[in-house]
Amino acid sequence: MSTPGAGIDWKGLMQAGLHGLGMQPAEFWRLTPVELKIMLGREGLVPPLTRARLAELAAAFPDVRKDQDDGGYRNDAGAASGT
């Protein structure tokens, strides 16, 4: 469908939906991405999220704690002290 990081391959998706599946444009645009993947038989191509993959994602995109100094909103000021 598209190369990772290259955005959405609209031309390829539209060709698959309109020509490959014989859909009308209005039908195509009403579909959700999940519905289109199922219709194209691609729902099984993405493996389930494993603990190892979750750990990779957590390392790549760590949670960042925002303080009042950087404009973040913190509502847990009493959480550590139990108040």
pLDDT tens-digit readout, 4-33: 556 888 898 899 999 999 999 999 999 988
The total number of residues shown for the chain amounts to 83
How many separate domains does the chain show?
Answer: 1
72: in domain: no
1: in domain: no
32: in domain: yes
Statement: residue 63 has pLDDT above 60: yes
- Kindly list the distances between the CA atom of residue 21 and the CA atoms of 24, 42, 43, 44, 76, in Å, as whole numbers in the listed order: 9, 13, 16, 18, 52
69: in domain: no
76: in domain: no
Statement: residue 77 has pLDDT above 60: no
- Percent of the chain at pLDDT > 70 equals 66
* Boundaries of domain holding 30: 10-63
53: in domain: yes
